[in-house]
Amino acid sequence: MDRLQSESKALDTLEKYDRIILWFEHDLYDQAVLIDLLSRLSEKIDLLDRMRLMTVDRFSGEERFVGFGQLSPDQLRSLQGLDVPVSEDMIRQAQRAWAAFRADTPEALHTFTVEEGDALPFLRSAMRRHLMELPSTRNGLSMTERLMLDAVADGAKTGVDTFRKMYRETEPAPFLGDVMFFHDMAGLIDATQPALTATEDWRDEFDLTDFGRQLLAEEADWVRTNGIDQWRGGVHLTGNGPVWRWSPDEDRPVLA
């Protein structure tokens, strides 16, 4: 909380800078922070001519570009000049996205991903990935949870192995840090009807339970069995259903 308050107060000092460059990756985490930030900065429209945005989703020579953190200092230096001015269209799009992200149902955000333009080029895909964190209509798992179980079924034996496999191979646009990742994974272990078995030491081996295998086969439903109490943006998912879910068949959120 102290860090968030400190970062918020720092926005009040921007007037002293001649140029403000916002470095944001293309993934869900960064794009969510970006729309929050630009919505706040919309009240400082006099700073608009000083603000620039650096955001890319690929880098020459990197087969799988995840984010700036994988680049060397020389590679980062080569991005100089690729930043673009923050426009009024970007600000307005961020405001619309932030309002939809915080809404208590996912309908407006889905409409945003379908109908909105690309003033912020990676925003719609990031918000679509956010919607896929709703429980699936097929088994009640979020996309992240399903990818975790897929990784274990494919041979990952520890939390680190699972994180590495998703980060390097199966997650389309990795956005979870290890702390958030292991928190979500613990939920699959600690539930009344767990999908994974594990010892207390994450370095030791763990495996799918029979229920976990049923989930992957889409013969069971996580929410109906274990219930849910999670927030997805402004959407509070509670109980055993019906709740807002992501329907892969309809390619949209549904209440089921």
Q: pLDDT digits over 144-174, tens only?
A: 999 999 999 999 988 889 999 999 899 988 9
Q: Domain range spanning residue 9?
A: 2-130
pLDDT surpasses 70 at 250: yes
Least confident of 33-42, 59-68, 86-95, 124-133: 59-68
User: Is the residue at 43 inside a domain?
Assistant: yes
Domain endpoint, select from 130, 162, 183: 130
**Closest to 98 in 3D by CA, of 123, 122, 117:** 123
Identify whether residues 123 and 158 lie together within a single domain: no
Q: In a 3-state reduction of DSSP, which class is residue 136? A: strand
pLDDT value at position 252?
Answer: 97
207-208 vs 196-197, strand pairing mode: antiparallel
Domain endpoint, select from 95, 130, 165: 130
Number of domains in the chain: 2
Q: Which carries the bigger pLDDT value, residue 160 or residue 129?
A: 129
Tens digits of residue pLDDT in 20-79: 999 999 999 999 999 999 999 988 878 888 999 999 999 988 888 888 989 999 999 999
Its pTM stands at 0.92
pLDDT value at position 166?
Answer: 92
> Mean pLDDT across the stretch 125-134?
97
Using a 10 angstrom Cβ sphere, with 0-12 exposed, 13-18 middle and 19 or more buried, the burial of residue 1 is exposed
Identify whether residues 202 and 123 lie together within a single domain: no
Domain endpoint, select from 106, 130, 154: 130
Identify whether residues 65 and 175 lie together within a single domain: no
User: Is the residue at 136 inside a domain?
Assistant: no
């107060």: which residue's tokens? Answer: 9
User: Is the residue at 226 inside a domain?
Assistant: yes
What CA–CA distance (Å, rounded) separates 186 from 47?
A: 43
